[in-house]
Amino acid sequence: MSNHDNTPIFPDSYIGDSSLEYDNSIWMERNQKKATLVCLQYLHDEKLNSLGNLDNINGKKCLIADLGCGTGFSSEILVENGHRVIGIDILIDMLLKAKTKKKFLKKEKELELILADINFLPIKQASIDHVISISAYNFIIHGKNLISDILKTVNNTARYLKKVLKPNGRIVIEFYPKDEKELNAFISSFKENGFDGFTVKKDPNQKSGQTFLLLKQC
């Protein structure tokens, strides 16, 4: 189910028959995997490297939290590129399909799947190398209309992600903020909670639409 402009509606577009349609969509698979590969490239971005403490993650096998992993398209790519992955999603309909994909991975043991809310992750502090999220992060404010509630949620989540990340941990988020005001709320939440970074937009002249948020702990 989607609205009049074909933008997915959370959670309707990801449960029941809609979750099956999502998982069987060749277009969706292609785009999710493409976005994941771009996010992996951004983990090594030279501009991101220059922020904060110097570190070198090239060639390292990392533990990556895949936030909002859905049916597992993104987690598949991360495992195939040599990383250990914790795929996290709040919707059981999506996660069950990711579990089916896991059985066919050559490195099945490298992927752990958890049913959880991004805002309340069952992960130890300072245990994750990096975080990647594909087309899901903006859903953390689903159902929140008051600006005070939105700001509280995004700040709490950014603060929590800093806790679960190891020192110098990085976050790359691909998402679709609805407007500049919403995008600025997400950016501010990270910058106020110990991160530095910048955005990359597919169309620099477009305030909404596909956006990549590249972050590194200060």
Q: Where are the domains of the chain?
A: 12-217
Say if CB 114 and CB 94 are below 8 A apart. Answer: no
Q: Is the pLDDT of residue 207 over 80?
A: no
Own/partner contacts of 112-115, CB < 8 Å, gap of 24 or more, are 112/85, 112/86, 112/87, 113/69, 113/72, 113/75, 113/86, 113/87, 113/88, 113/89, 114/86, 114/87, 114/88, 115/89, 115/90
191: which 2 tokens?
């910058």
How far, in Å, CA of 51 to CA of 177, rounded? 24
Exposure of 45 in the CB half-sphere (CA atoms within 13 A): 21
Task: Express each pLDDT in 130-177 by its tens digit.
Answer: 999 999 999 999 999 999 999 999 999 999 999 999 998 999 999 999
pLDDT tens readout for residues 40-61:
999 988 888 887 665 656 667 8
Q: What is the CATH number of domain 12-217?
A: 3.40.50.150
Indicate the average pLDDT of the chain. Answer: 90
Structure tokens at 99: 């579990």
Q: Minimal CA–CA distance to 186: which of 129, 121, 140?
A: 140
Give percent of the chain with pLDDT exceeding 90: 77
Whole-number Cα distances in Å, 114 to 34, 67, 99: 23, 10, 10
Phi and psi, residue 130, nearest 5°: -145, 160
